[in-house]
Amino acid sequence: MRNQLTILFALIFIACNAQSSKDTEIWEPVPKKVYSSSDSSAPDDAIVLFDGKDLSKWKAKWGGKESEWQINDDGSVTVVFDGTGGIQTIENFGSVQLHLEWKTSEDLSHKLQDRSNSGVFLQNRYEIQILDSYDNPTYVNGQAGSVYKQHIPLVNASRKPGEWQSYDIIFEAPEFNDDGEKTKSGYFTVFHNGILIQNHVEILGTTENVGPPKNIAHGDAPISLQNHCCTQISFRNIWVRKL
C-alpha cells in the first residue's frame, strides 16, 4: 500500500510539474492586421506624406510658406534651391518608421558635398545624409546613409546618378525629463535600397556640421528634407508610420 501511494504521489508530482509548450505561448494582445501591396507602397496604417500630387503635408522650413519645390508629371518632386532651407512636415512626429525614395542628378559638374546633397531630418534635428555617393568620395561620416558626422554607413549601397533609391528608416526618438536632461538616447536603424546600413546606432545629439552634437530638450517635431545646393535631387513616395 505504501509503495502504491508513493507511486501515486510521484505521478501527481510529475503531472503538476511537467512543462508544456503551452506554458510559453502568448495569445494576446493580437497584432493588428496591416496590409501592404508591395514592399515600397504605403501600408494601410501609414500617413502618406507625398503621393506625387502635391505638398499639402509640407511647408517651407524657413518662413513657413507653401513650398515651391517642383512637382513633376512622373509623381516626383524636385528640390528648388530657393533659400528656404528645405521643407518640413506640418505634423510633428516622435518615433517612426519612414520610407522615402530619392534620385540624384546625372549632372556631375559638382563633387564632394555639392553633388545632389540633401538629407532627411527626423524631428528637424537628426540627419540621415542624402548625397550622390556612387562615385563621389567625401568624408565617410558625411556620405549617403551616414548619421551625419556621427555614424558611417556599414556599406555603400548607392546606385548610379539618375536611378531611384530608397531609404527605410526606423527612428526611436530620444527622451528628456522636465529638467531638460536626456533620459534615453534616440536610435537609428536604416536600410538603403533594402540593405542594412545603420544597425540600431545611438544618436549622440543633433547632427551638426560644425562642432559636437547638442542635446537640448525637445518633444515631437517635423520631419524635414534639406535644401542644400548645387545639383538637383528629387523625391517620391514618402510615407511614415508612427511607432
Name the residues that contact Mg ion, by CB under 5 A.
Answer: 117, 119, 129, 226
- In angstroms, what is the minimal distance from the CB of 95 to Mg ion? 22
- In angstroms, what is the minimal distance from the CB of 207 to Mg ion? 9
CB–CB of 154/162 below 8 Å? no
CB–CB of 52/236 below 8 Å? yes
| Nearer to Mg ion (CB atom), residue 118 or residue 215 | 118
- In angstroms, what is the minimal distance from the CB of 152 to Mg ion? 15
The whole-angstrom separation of Cα 202 and Cα 189 is 9
Grid cell in block for residue 12 = 501527481
- In angstroms, what is the minimal distance from the CB of 113 to Mg ion? 7
Strands of the chain (E only): list them: 47-50, 58-60, 70-71, 77-78, 86-89, 96-104, 118-122, 126-130, 164-172, 175-176, 182-184, 186-192, 195-203, 224-226, 233-242
Give 189's strand partners.
170
58: Cβ contacts below 8 Å, ≥ 6 apart: 49, 50, 67, 87, 88, 89, 90
- In angstroms, what is the minimal distance from the CB of 231 to Mg ion? 13
| Nearer to Mg ion (CB atom), residue 46 or residue 227 | 227
| Nearer to Mg ion (CB atom), residue 67 or residue 143 | 143
- In angstroms, what is the minimal distance from the CB of 84 to Mg ion? 15
Q: What is the DSSP string of 33-72?
A: P---SSSSSPPTTSEEEE-SS--TTEEETTT-----PEE-
| Nearer to Mg ion (CB atom), residue 46 or residue 198 | 198
Q: What spatial distance separates the first Cα and last Cα of the chain, rounded to whole Å? A: 64
| Nearer to Mg ion (CB atom), residue 88 or residue 117 | 117
Residue of closest CB approach to Mg ion: 119
3-state helix vs strand vs coil in the chain, percent to 5: 10, 35, 55
What single letter denotes the amino acid at residue 238? I
| Nearer to Mg ion (CB atom), residue 226 or residue 237 | 226
- In angstroms, what is the minimal distance from the CB of 201 to Mg ion? 17
| Nearer to Mg ion (CB atom), residue 129 or residue 136 | 129
